[in-house]
Structure 1
Amino acid sequence: MSVPVPGPRAAPPGEARTLPQPRTAAQFDGGLSLLVIEDDPAGVLSVPEMLDASGKPVRIRTARNLTEAERLLTDDVHCILLDLALPGACPEAGDGGEDGAAPDTLETLRQVLRLAPRHAVLALTAETDVERATEAVRVGAQDYLFRDELDERVLSRAIRYAVERKRADVAQRQLSESRLRAQENARLERGLLPTPLLEGSDLRFAARYRPGRSRALLGGDFYDTVRTPDGTVHAMIGDVCGHGPDEAALGVELRIAWRALTFAGLSGDELLSTLQRVLEHERANEEIFATLCTMDIAPDGGSAGMFLAGHPTPLLVRPDQRLPLLLPYEDGGPALGLLPEARWPRHDLELGSEWSLLMYTDGLIEGRVGAGTQRLGQEGMAELIGRQFGEGLRGEKLLDAAVTEVRDLNGGELTDDVAVLLLDRG
């Protein structure tokens, strides 16, 4: 299914924050640009003229305070030179904080780092203040310079070193964020893609899940299959509207709740009503809903009860039928979360002695067929599965072939998540 930025360069809630990488020293086609933040009424501080590697003059801007610095801090600034003697950055000795605590002599640096999280920063201080200079690097500056050493050669080298080091820091941070996202994906995948509990059943199980191309995280598709002590096999597949981590987490919650309620003896309308209450309690807003299809297969495997909550109807394949059968949808109920007092009637099915049951989310049927706007649809999917079934494909091979062909018909990866569950008997 398809659904305020506080502070500078903040990422919208729920999105992975990726900082633009500073350019390397070899990529400054328009020349280097340096922002100097200092308040020197006596004019003692003098920034030397410099040339970059291509022979172009280094552009220098000067700000007397952080307000001016914020206005001058445009994307073409490559490095910031902050004078730690800026008023407010170096309180006079003895000016303790609350309760006599030592003053924070690097607060201005911290403000600059918050103001310019993707810029390289150099700290400028007196030669006698080595301890504060090294502390500035620990706080987040890329390097420090002594005021008495501020010549063209030293400053030019320091700028290039600072930019390259900042680029390496950003790259390392993005790598760490990617690893964290991968770990989160793995945790979500373990919840969304469970191990079926079918011990003692002669049914064969196969499933496939493919996230849509536009998302780094898993979407809201989920499924599960369990066998209860009475021998009944219960299968379920569902889809939470939306594609973000909140929807994926809600899908995990619904799947776990379904498994727990099923083992507790609930089924059909009673189970779906309880799941709806779970969804209403856990969803982020009232517009979130979930479609669901459940099948309760009798212990002998010859019959089943089907419950639909706004979900596409399953596909039944039998050797005595030329084409797969789309199970009836007429007795289906609404998606979970749409109607407070909804009911979901049972539809009884005769399966036979040998059959294959395909349950899927709508991502499998919403892909395009060719370059036009025509969708595959349920009928097109039934024809596709019937042809592959006739070619002798079964189980995992059938699902792999089906998902691959649907993707190829679409002309590339599908935009929606795809989950497919297959149960075989005989």
Structure 2
Amino acid sequence: MAYRIPRGTQDILPGDSEKWQFIEQRIDDICSRFNYSEIRTPIFEQTELFARGVGDSTDIVQKEMYTFEDKGGRQLTLRPENTASIVRSYVENKMYGWAGQPVKLYYTGPMFRYERPQSGRMRQFVQFGVEAIGSADPAIDAEVIGLAMQFYEEMNLKGLKLVVNSLGDKESRKAHREALVSHFEPRIGEFCSDCQERLHTNPLRILDCKKDKDHPLMVDAPSILEHLNEESSSYFDQVKTMLDEMGIPYEVDANLVRGLDYYTHTAFEIMIEGEGFGAITTLMGGGRYNGLIGDIGGPDTPGIGFALSIERLLMALDTQNVELPAEKNLDCYIVALGEEAKKRSVSLVHELRRAGIKADKDYMDRKTKAQFKAADRTNSTFTVVIGDDELEAEAVNIKNMETGAQEEVPLSAFITTMQKRTRRKAQ
């Protein structure tokens, strides 16, 4: 039987894994500058956490979750998103009592959704996201948006467009919900079955329907901005003012909704414009979720965050021909000539690695010419030759592969010489 990878998943092989590592290093760097700390949550949680946190009426909960029963009869789900998990951890670990508020967290890890696989959309995919919990200041909204924009800009992507909207508070959402029901109900039979089900459970999601996006009722559907109360309108104005102060351009889109039930007030997406990216132009999305912490048993605490797909980022980089460092170069490759030299090379390569130097040697019993070819394939900066003559002289021959310069160095000074040449420090 030939085993194949499950549909909607991928192997990230050497040559590509270095690109992922580079992106992850960029994530760690920018989050450090913004004073966000890493959090790591379990890959599976109680199913009820997502049903309650994400929302029973969402496609994620109704159609896309990987749910199973463990040997104890508990219903568990592979996480389809991470905000609910982080909020669970926030409540369980009483982070609301920590001295440093707001609690500013970031994560990178796999999520799972049973969707039809397509370009930029996998069943197992990796998200980078941030959550800032504990502050109702519009400035933290602007900070979170600014972090996302700066990350994409530092990845050298062009044609970025920030779209923002307000979903209002509970009072505003209720008024908007009633207006949507009145608007769509007389002709709801003309819409898809999903929209018909959502009419009285979550009519806001009708605005995000891909099947009925061209229906005439979509054009003049009631806008949330028309139903914002004074408090919600003022909050949105302050967020926009903060973005103006930061010099971040944006567009207001009254039809922007997010696919999760927990969002309130600020909602935003970053899109990419330009040819070659296909139908999926949205790179990431996020928003404020002031009621979520209370909904899953914690104190009434405001929060805001975003999540972005690493796969979709890589696709955008590829479309714009942005090259990422993917080569894994060695500092030193040892070519051993003769049986005694092969034995000596084992200890030499070990000493090099202990000294902080990226080193390797031949393990395939190759001939001399083949060993030099292997060294070339590793893009090694230096090739070190040791044979019978070198062993007798207690020396090695070091060749700089960039300049072609060669020098003979005593074995007693070999490690320190390589540290100086490569500027490495002992581990």
- Scaled by the length of structure 1, the TM-score of the pair is 0.27
Higher RCO (C-alpha 8 Å, min separation 6): 2
Structure with the greater alpha carbon radius of gyration: 1
- Scaled by the length of structure 2, the TM-score of the pair is 0.27
